[in-house]
Amino acid sequence: MLVKQPIVALVFLLLVLTGCIDKVDSPHSSFNPTPVVNSIIITGKPIKVNVSLAVGLQAPKASVVDNAEVLLYVNNELAEPLEHTGNGIYKSQLVAQEETEYRCEVTIPGHPTAIGSTYIPKHSKVKITEHINIAGADEEGWPFAAVRVSFSNNPDETTYYQIAIKIIREDRVRTQLQTSNIVDPVLLSEGLPLLVFSNQTIQGNSYTMTINYGNGHNMYINGVNNPVWTLDPIQIELRTVSYDYYKYIKQLYLYEQSTGEPLLTPGATSHFKLHSNIENGYGIFTGYSWANSSIHTPK
């Protein structure tokens, strides 16, 4: 199992990606409201589409649309009109499947039909091969753990992935989609502290990735908030994502880092145009398949 030398420099990546984030308007220009269509399709779940209108910089937020006609096509055949459930959200009756092409056509009165399409790839199996209870310490001296995960790979086909680390506690499941102290060469080649990557630097039919992650949390002891180091059970979710998802997540991270504010929903991007695959509008219509590893309890 070999890994090619990383070829993407962080500075070059920042220049390329931030160059794709354009202002929609300025305070001194007029801006016509434009359809915004957003959907992250997840296999095994109904498809939800958020419909809104992008507005100018002086408006507080995007305006949701509750009177749109939203048609869903599956493998180029009309499947169903989506049902409006309120607050600009339209929902399907069918559940999403992998290895399937989806297209969404959204018609808002007074606007051209906005169209988005995507292909949901087949999932890849994943397993935890090793867990390192203490892999190192951060700048403040707090330890972090590491997990090694293996998955299959087809070096002749470009594939995009995202890993979610699920930390399982009695009261909730916490999901990590970012990491620090990156040591894995595939993640290093992406240039960002995200668990989203392609297989372009992977050779061979399988790959084992090493991921450092934090497993601590705050706990009140005698009225004082104290950081606590724990070794909770974990599970790895491997998402096989579309190219548009891969590119959008990277630009979204850079946008949030540059503004210092989280972008809670893609429909809120009224001031900047991130990567979009919507014809006659803004937004993203994409998705992923997924597979879970077994739950691993560190000893």
Angle at 124 between CA 121 and CA 130, to 5 degrees: 150
Q: Indicate if the pLDDT at residue 20 is higher than 80.
A: no
Determine the distance from the C-alpha atom of residue 154 to the mean position of all C-alpha atoms in its chain, rounded to a whole number: 22
CATH of the domain at 278: 2.60.40
Number of domains in the chain: 1
Is-contact 82 49, C-beta < 8 A? yes
To the question of pTM greater than 0.85 for the whole model, the response is no
**What is the arithmetic mean of pLDDT over 98-117?**
98
Residue 213 lies in a domain: no
Residue 241 lies in a domain: no
DSSP 75: T
CA distance 295 to 292: 9
Quote the strand ranges of 82-205, DSSP E: 83-86, 89-95, 100-107, 114-120, 126-137, 143-152, 160-168, 173-176, 196-198
Task: Please indicate whether residue 291 or residue 169 has the higher confidence score (pLDDT).
Answer: 291
CA distance 213 to 209: 13
Residue 207 lies in a domain: no
Q: Which of 21-35, 100-114, 224-238, 252-266 has the lowest mean pLDDT?
A: 21-35
| Res 61: pLDDT | 59
Using one digit for the tens of pLDDT, what is the confidence trace for 56-86?
655 555 689 999 999 999 999 999 999 999 9
Residue 132 lies in a domain: no
Residue 140 lies in a domain: no
Residue 183 lies in a domain: no
7-31 as b/e: b if 16+ CB within 10 A = eeeeeebeeebeeebeebbeeeeee
Q: Where residue 201 falls among pLDDT bands split at 50, 70, 90? A: very high
Using one digit for the tens of pLDDT, what is the confidence trace for 95-104?
999 999 999 9
| Res 110: pLDDT | 95
Residue 180 lies in a domain: no
Q: Indicate if the pLDDT at residue 266 is higher than 80.
A: no
Residue 32 lies in a domain: yes
Q: Where residue 214 falls among pLDDT bands split at 50, 70, 90? A: confident
What is the span of the domain harbouring residue 105? 26-120+265-288
| Res 31: pLDDT | 61
